[in-house]
Chains A and B, each alone.
Chain A
Amino acid sequence: GAGVSQSPSNKVTEKGKDVELRCDPISGHTALYWYRQSLGQGLEFLIYFQGNSAPDKSGLPSDRFSAERTGGSVSTLTIQRTQQEDSAVYLCASRHPGELFFGEGSRLTVL
């Protein structure tokens, strides 16, 4: 596609369940980022993938969060045993080079 695609656009889950969020970056973009925006907050960096290098996971808030990027393209962000404080919009972005192009985000609501 022409832009960064994320799915699902909305996800409502129960506390304690696992969720997977998907990001399909712009074709040819080697760098992929995950950010999240909690209510009333700015965008918080989570994780960064660049080509075949080891990802920068320094922003992941806990070990319940993990992400992978298969084949240098699609990425999946997994949140295990979700908590209510995980509720946020999770944004994926890609770049190569230049500025970040963001997807529309996946809104996660944990009940």
Chain B
Amino acid sequence: DQQVKQNSPSLSVQEGRISILNCDYTNSMFDYFLWYKKYPAEGPTFLISISSIKDKNEDGRFTVFLNKSAKHLSLHIVPSQPGDSAVYFCAARRGNSGGSNYKLTFGKGTLLTVNP
């Protein structure tokens, strides 16, 4: 049972355009959502997060939108740059999970390719 789903395994966009990566979740107990970026042969690195009390969080070129009623979040990158080419993982965690409150559940990832 996959609780965090990234239905697009890959996405290709032109440099300068907007990249939109989507993520859906099924567990209504999730209250905090994160995006991680992973380059080949490197560990994932934290990119941006959003709490369930918000519907938008922006950090430079990166914006995450959360639609709680649809259990859907998306990551927008604008303008996209070739250096953004990487695998992007959506992750979520539950509230009230005691000492393991950072036991994140990850999606399978979306490979973003930004073409020059």
Contacts and interface: CB of A to CB of B under 8 A. Distances in A.
Does B bind A?
Answer: yes
Contact of B102 (A44, A59, A95, A105): A95
A59 B100 CA distance: 12
Nearest to B100: A56
Given A95-B102, A104-B41, 7 more contacts: A31-B102, A41-B108, A42-B107, A43-B44, A45-B105, A48-B102, A99-B49
Contacts of A56: 99-100, 103
A102 B44 contact: yes
A35 B44 CA distance: 11
A40 interface: yes
Interface of B: 2, 4, 6, 34, 36, 41-46, 49, 89, 91, 99-100, 102-109
A42 B109 contact: yes
17 contacts: A42-B6, A42-B89, A42-B106, A42-B107, A42-B108, A42-B109, A43-B91, A43-B104, A43-B106, A45-B105, A50-B100, A53-B99, A56-B99, A56-B103, A99-B49, A100-B44, A102-B43
A26 to B, nearest CB: 12
A79 interface: no
Interface of A: 4, 31, 33, 35, 40-45, 48, 50, 53, 56, 58-59, 91, 93, 95, 99-105
Nearest to B97: A56
A42 B4 contact: yes
A100 B46 contact: yes
